[in-house]
Structure 1
């Protein structure tokens, strides 16, 4: 029995790649750091691996094993959290405090924290000054738009929802219906979740006369206030301001269509602009903040942490993990990884040469609002919003019915979250 148990533990150690060479019984002196990240594109992963290799050359006694689980990331992390066996370093991908906080080491004593962009404080720092993760970059989401088309039709980038609706109608009219005013990749429900999440902030948070922070956080929010966003989306669909295949279109179609001047606006950012430029340099893609909803309010960036490195507080290699973070926080390395992802760096002393640099500079006075679901909604609501958008577009549910469904799921998921918290306590 003891032999079987030893074999089982040995096999388990091989599966859970957080085990070091020392733990595996190999007798090696080299320490192994295991890193898990949500970085998605091949080019971005290549830059990260290159930096990890450079770190290993500086620290020959430390081996860095990098893993990119892709779509399996969250499920893998849930299993590891339940087992209390997290990787030495891991990506909090927007949930540094809420989901992963109890597993992360406090990084506030590290020198780079003095240069942390204040826009990230609410996501990565708590009231006591504890810092939960190092930001490899930061998201600033808004509307990606075809600058070439807007200039051709004499349309100014919209700053309000009314301006946005007017711009969509003008594009449809002036292009004779050959350009899709607002394009969705609805086959992936996250496309609709992104719409709801981005516009929820200007609808429910940023305007003083329409601010529902307390109600959202204490569970008393009336979801009839949310119906506006579904009404607008349905209005766009009825006026043929969206792509006809909004529910079935795939993200892989976006770059080619934008390069053919067939799309005016979309929610997709990231490397879209440079990807389009590689296919058709004559098409210029820009990005603008999310338009304001209420009169007198201002546009906002929606963002926060994108890719991060958090250190597992119980890692036997915590000091080595912090060494790796310090290495990644060097200005030249922070610049390298941020530019690879076409996003601003998370440190104020790092200036990046990225595709949307001029747009971010032009709108540098615009405030950044944290992702709505991360602060105000229980875990699981992102998927609910995505499915709701698909059901709305497919005429399965009306805007009022969408709000009713969101309200029910909001309460259910809050109770589920509370019950789990009670069990843990």
Structure 2
């Protein structure tokens, strides 16, 4: 009996020892595990009346049970102890692992204040950058507007500055006409002196091949010489100053001499309300004024007796002018007093007569050869016709730069 009691006691001490070890995750080196287990065992014995000193009958009955049943109970108790140990270990591991994360996820007040300050600094920096870009963009827009205004008002200011000179030269008609006529004669001299005799009218009489060939050769050379001189003498070095002031005055509405339908429907002349015109529109006004008012007038007033050549040159100039500026979009103009020029033959001379309110015709000069009639001359030498087109383009560019320089 004593041996069995000692064995049972040892087994119970082992079980209690394992149970106490599992429940305490941390161990102190100063405490004895066996003493703790004995104390716990004594407390259990005191509570339960299973000791032989208090109830010997129950003590004997407990030992009368079979050992197999006691082994099963011990085995189940060990399994429960292992489960409790695993659960305690898992809970302890979770506490160790998740304790710093909980500390980080729940920051202190100082950390929160630092985050708020950082956010405010970032917002201030972003607002400063946005203000900087906004200032740059606003300055660029203001500069663009000022440049545009300066470009729009440059012609008007230039006109106001040169108004005295323009009005002075316009009053001196004799000096003006002499200087301008001298320049126009220099331009037309080579073209008109290249033909010393009457040319065959190859447009009305195209059957005689020999006369047609000679007439086309001389007429196309005359036209080529005229356009070469126009491109050359329209440069700033060789241009007439009085003619420059006259052409500049024709750009403005108050000083314009006449208003043709072709030009007036494609541009708005400069005046106090309209101070912006495109470069192509300005060149169109200048080319019209110099060709009709000066070049063609001087050609018709020359000593050249071949009227067919004079009419042919004027027709070619009108053809090139319309071909150059017909692409411009038409606009609604408030000008009602439109005019056009018409050819009048008086004896051996041709003159231009100004007609008010012309018919529905965009021609600047009425009575010249049509474009279809000029095709025979333009197709005669295609190389020469290309050179003529190039010289006309050079003349238009040079005229714009010299007048508005």
TM bucket (normalised to shorter chain) is: under 0.3
Higher strand share: 1
Q: Which has the higher contact order (CA 8 A, sep 6+)?
A: 1
Structure index of larger Rg: 2
